[in-house]
Structures are given as C-alpha cells and as structure tokens.
Amino acid sequence: MNQNPEELQFLSSHRSFDGWQKRYRHFSPSLNCEMNFSIYLPPATDQGEKVPAVYWLSGLTCTDENFTIKAGAQRGAAEYGIALIMPDTSPRGEKVARAIDHAYDLGLGAGFYVNATQEPWSRHYRMYDYIVDELPALMEKHFPLDDRRSISGHSMGGHGALMIALRNPQRYRSVSAFSPIVNPTTSPWGIKAFSHYLGDDVKNWWNYDASLLIESARPREYLPMLIDQGSADEFLAEQLKIERFIAACNTANYPVQINMREGYDHSYFFISTFIGEHLRFHARALKNP
C-alpha cells in the first residue's frame, strides 16, 4: 500500500466532450486506507484555465464509477466549464470493517458521510472529514481547480450533500440532491447506520440530519438549494421522507426549490434525465463573483 498522501496513482483516462474523464487512487490519512476517485476535467483546463468544481456524492452500494458511467453529466460539465469530482462512498480494503452479514446498507459502500465514533468503524469510517477537508485540498493541489465548489448527490449521497453544505455553507456556492435521505435519524437506513457508527445516543446523530440542521441555519448563510424527487420512488415513504424536509424549510423560511417529478423512480434513469438542470443550477452559482 502506498501511504504517501501527496501521491496520486493514475488508473485510467478517457476523452469525453473534448475534456477528460480520469480515475486515480491515493492513500487517505482521514480514512487510513487507499481510496479511488474519478474526476472530469472540462476542455477549458487543457488551456491551463482553473475551473470550479461540483462534488458528487453517490448512494448506497455505489462506487465512484456509477455516476461517472451512468449519469451522462460530462456533456453539461463541458458546456459550463465545470469539473466533476466523484469520490467513493466508503473506505474499502481488507482491513476495513464490513457488516458481518454483508448487508448493503452498512459498511462497504455505505459510509453515510459521517465520522464514526464507535469501534470497529472509527478506525476508517471518517467520510465527513474526507469529503469536507482532505479531498478538496488534494483536488485543488493536483488539478487546475480554483476554490469555487458546489456539492450534489443521490440518496445516501443526497443526505451527505445537504448535511455537509448546511454544516459548511462557507465552503460551497450551492447544493443539490436527487432523492435524498433528508431525515436519517428517523429513516431505517439512517437508524441502522448511525447506531453502528455513532452509538446509541441519538443526540450524537443530530449533526448529520439535514432536516434538523436546516432549523438552525442562519439567513446570511443560506445557499441556493435544489432537490429533485421522483413520485414513483419505491423508498419515498419509508426511507426518504421529503415531506419532513419541506416542513423544516417552511419553519425556517429557508429558500429551496423542490421538484416532485411525476412517475420517476430512484434509478439513474431519473438522475440522467435531470442532471443537466442541476449542472446549470450550479453553474449559475459558481460563476457568480
């Protein structure tokens, strides 16, 4: 294992819409393991121009490649001159803890973008620190990026994007999500993950719940926010609970655009349909002075 955090191991590169879709591996001090990430660099970077970036957080069971291959986001990123950064969803490797029953919603592929405090998870599962601090510093050192950032994600990644943006509004220009888990402290997915990663004291979960965080947001820190939710999503009622986030935003007077998309489900067919609108939304925020 290469444990030099400053070194990137090149894995692959593909020309796409006159830009470059690339994949790398590096050692993460935050997660204490090697991590893969994918990055799309738009055509403007070939001329040495520094560009803003949208960070994409994927959902349960995904890696950095799901969005890269399925969403078709490179076209919009090239058009708007935006880099796309796609990290993995959890730490991985032989020494990294995983669910004993190989459950899809705990352990590998299910980091939930929190800093775990409970053993054995706390040894590696510090995805919050990785996304907020380590990864942007690494990206902006090695690639032609400036410090303009937005963040987006799907399902578990939508939870991560909203939660991270609400806790760090100074770091981002905008936030968006597809089918986010907006109230994980009451969602079966969230309860399972948080009880293992954070312990049984529910108060320790509150800082990772977007519906609770929105209530304490300060008006001067409000970010442009866009959410798309499919009406035919099989997880809508039990896991996603968008109505609770709507109520929290109304109580806090937090401005948010929420689109209920008739007939759409939880899949990448949904994401690929509306990803162009999300990138256009972020481009407006990123290009503002």
Which domains, and CATH codes, for the chain? Answer: 9-287 (3.40.50.1820)
Asked if pLDDT for residue 1 goes beyond 80, the answer is no
Catalytic residue among 155, 174, 187, 211: 155
Under 8 Å between Cβ of 114 and 199: no
Asked if pLDDT for residue 289 goes beyond 70, the answer is no
pLDDT tens digits along 235-287: 999 999 999 999 999 999 999 999 999 999 999 999 999 999 999 999 999 99
38 catalytically annotated: no
State residue 100's pLDDT score.
82
State residue 2's pLDDT score.
63
Q: What's this model's pTM, rounded to 2 decimal places?
A: 0.97
Q: How many residues does the chain have?
A: 289
155 catalytically annotated: yes
State residue 3's pLDDT score.
72
Percent of the chain with pLDDT over 70: 99
Asked if pLDDT for residue 155 goes beyond 80, the answer is yes
Catalytic residue among 150, 211, 233, 282: 233
282 catalytically annotated: no
Phi, psi of 70 (to 5 degrees): -100, -25
Helices (H), strands (E): how many in the chain? 9, 9
State residue 225's pLDDT score.
98
Catalytic residue among 154, 196, 266, 282: 266
Asked if pLDDT for residue 5 goes beyond 70, the answer is no
CA 203/CA 74 separation, integer angstroms: 40
Under 8 Å between Cβ of 86 and 58: yes
CA 194/CA 112 separation, integer angstroms: 8
The average confidence (pLDDT) of the chain is 96
Q: Is 40 helix (H, G, I), strand (E, B) or coil?
A: strand
Under 8 Å between Cβ of 129 and 30: yes
Closest to 153 (Cα-Cα) out of 115, 187, 180: 180
CA 59/CA 67 separation, integer angstroms: 10
Residue with tokens 């590096």: 26
How many of the other CB atoms lie within 10 Å of CB of 18?
Answer: 11
